[in-house]
Copies of this chain bind each other. A is one copy, B any other.
């Protein structure tokens, strides 16, 4: 990782965070503010500032390093600017689905934004059995709006290319390139898996057909600048309640293949489909189907209403574009299923299963499903095909 610029940068404290919040035109003058650091400290500070009435805001500050599983490396502070700009850009299209940004500071690498503490992280809620009835409607809408509007179908090519250069995000992309698309497919030291899965991991490293498809997915991630992605759209990047959904943390935002955002979210629903008992599973199956249905139908509506392309009405073009997105999504979902099981950063959906036998069985199922997604993505033509495949590998 490149060494990052830290001139003029100082980490905030609970005290300086309060002082900063008091300067903003947000709280009543003279309000007694309190501050609590609620981040996990691995990548960012997250200060929750509230007044006596409970009114609050969030100050998120990037740290000049990343800590993952005990390792620490320098990591660019520019990601704070990328994240704030992505929230603002996506907020132009779905203001109800992202936190509002109140203020930013590039040198100090912080963003002041809407307090979402009345919501829970979707991953934790889903693991606890929540159903989040609006989740797939909202994320389908989020995906369609943000990805269509920042693509060449929704933007003048001058604006698209300006944004693509502005959102160049090499360091954060490299994390994805390594941890999702490379390391899990080789016997690399960053991999992290339970001993019981050794043979399964080795089978993946020896699967040459799978490796070839992983190479193609990585090349797509490296080269296909289709739209301004969130870049890390797993269920830990989503706050939710029964009534509301908010997508947070787009610090991995960059111009990439549309299917990457769609696929990451789908894969994280698949973890729930894999780990839930039969009775709780249907709601997840519905969410998977509905995510794709809402995304593809909203994307199609936007295409009809707003696409300025000369080829907008060319027979079969919209279908061709959606087929590519679908195929890519399934492949990227497969890579996410594998990396969260044997790669560096795991998910609590799987790791949280206490029974050893059950946990290993579900992890094997995740690997099988990921492998099938990657290898069979060209044959799967509908979201029901995908759901059948998930069921068949149970």
Contacts and interface: CB of A to CB of B under 8 A. Distances in A.
B314 A208 contact: yes
Interface stretch (A34-42, A106-114, A216-224, A335-343): A216-224
Contacts of A157: 170, 173-174, 177, 222
Q: Considering residues A157, A211, A311, A321, which has the most beta carbons from chain B within 10 angstroms of its beta carbon?
A: A311
A38 to B, nearest CB: 32
Interface string A285-315: 0000000000000000000000001110011
Nearest to A318: B215
Contacts of A162: 168, 170
Interface in A188-230: 208, 211-212, 214-216, 218-219, 222-226
A134 interface: no
Contacts of A223: 152, 224-226
A171 B158 contact: yes
A93 interface: no
A316 B316 CA distance: 31
A51 B212 CA distance: 58
A104 interface: no
A65 interface: no
A2 interface: yes
Nearest to A257: B223
A321 B310 CA distance: 30
Contact of A315 (B171, B208, B226): B208
B164 A315 contact: no
Contacts of A219: 152, 321
A91 B161 CA distance: 26
Contacts of A171: 158
A317 interface: yes
Q: Considering residues A157, A165, A219, A225, which has the most beta carbons from chain B within 10 angstroms of its beta carbon?
A: A219
A222 to B, nearest CB: 5
A85 to B, nearest CB: 15
Contacts of A320: 212, 215-216
Contact of A224 (B2, B164, B174, B224): B224
A186 interface: yes
B170 A158 contact: yes
Chain A: number of interface residues, binned into ranges: 35 or more
A225 B321 CA distance: 18
18 contacts: A157-B177, A158-B171, A158-B174, A161-B169, A161-B173, A162-B168, A165-B165, A186-B310, A208-B316, A211-B311, A212-B311, A212-B314, A212-B315, A212-B320, A215-B309, A215-B317, A215-B320, A224-B225
Interface of A: 2, 152, 157-158, 160-162, 164-165, 168-171, 173-174, 177, 182, 185-186, 208, 211-212, 214-216, 218-219, 222-226, 309-311, 314-317, 320-321
A309 B178 CA distance: 11
Contacts of A214: 311
B222 A152 contact: yes
A293 B9 CA distance: 54
A218 to B, nearest CB: 7
A267 to B, nearest CB: 21
Contacts of A218: 311
Contacts of A226: 223
A226 B225 CA distance: 10
Contacts of A225: 223-225
A152 B2 CA distance: 18
A215 B311 contact: yes
B168 A164 contact: yes
Contacts of A173: 157, 161
A262 B258 CA distance: 27
A151 to B, nearest CB: 8
